[in-house]
A = this chain, B = another copy of it.
């Protein structure tokens, strides 16, 4: 692969996701991390991006989605990234994994190029688009992508085709929780998302909930399922511990990162 070709694709990914990581790029392009760093240095000198520790971002005003400034998102993205990476580690090779909607779940996708022969099922348009793009970038197309249809919602979720859900199964479902509490169970704020998550619990033997720290021990508007339905909870150390103990009592395996 040509150097400029690689750099073009880096910029391409940067424009679709808002940020790129050195280690991740090195994996997808099968080159040493130092090569990626040199690429990023060149692109930065050309004013095309802003390097940060671990990767690069678009400079302020360059992004389409109106991202805020660097330090601001760095905090939130850091947590997001930690959870996402832990989630990716919980995925075995050669498995079928369902990814639900949401930013946390979306953050898992960049780490999937570590795996081989995954089958990815999703009802999120943004995740599907990202995975498809990744597949075009990496020379050996290692993943199979399957999309659940439905009507597109503003969160890029595709909802409404319950029939299609009944015809798939997965080794692992990974979804985001709107709220998770031992007593009040798994909850969501979005009706469609809640309905989808409820259906998801039935198609897999193992369920993984990604929970932002501020969502631990809290409850959203709509009840989805009792907390005991969750097999694994992934969050960060910043999350409040008492609710986690209660969840642990119910048999939920807690992973903090």
Q: Do residues A147 and B146 form an inter-chain contact, with CB atoms below 8 A?
A: no
> Is the CB of A223 closer than 8 A to any CB of chain B?
no
Closest chain B residue, CB of each to CB of A50: B4
> Is the CB of A156 closer than 8 A to any CB of chain B?
yes
Instruction: Give chain B residues whose Cβ lies under 8 Å from the Cβ of A141.
Output: 154
Bound CA span A64–B187, Å: 40
Instruction: Give chain B residues whose Cβ lies under 8 Å from the Cβ of A149.
Output: 146-150, 158, 161, 164
> Is the CB of A76 closer than 8 A to any CB of chain B?
no
> Is the CB of A38 closer than 8 A to any CB of chain B?
no
Chain B nearest CB, measured from A10 CB (Å): 14
This protein's copies in its complex: 2
> Interface SS of chain A: helix, strand, loop or mixed?
mixed
Instruction: Give chain B residues whose Cβ lies under 8 Å from the Cβ of A128.
Output: 125, 152
> Is the CB of A132 closer than 8 A to any CB of chain B?
yes
Chain B nearest CB, measured from A166 CB (Å): 10
The stretch that binds B, out of A51-59, A87-95, A171-179, A195-203, is: A51-59
- By a beta-carbon cutoff of 8 Å, the part of chain A in contact with chain B is 2-5, 8, 18-19, 21, 50, 52-55, 57, 125-126, 128-129, 131-132, 135-136, 141, 144-152, 154, 156, 158, 160-161, 163-164, 167
In order of increasing CB-CB distance, the 5 nearest A-B pairs are A149-B149, A145-B152, A4-B52, A129-B129, A148-B149
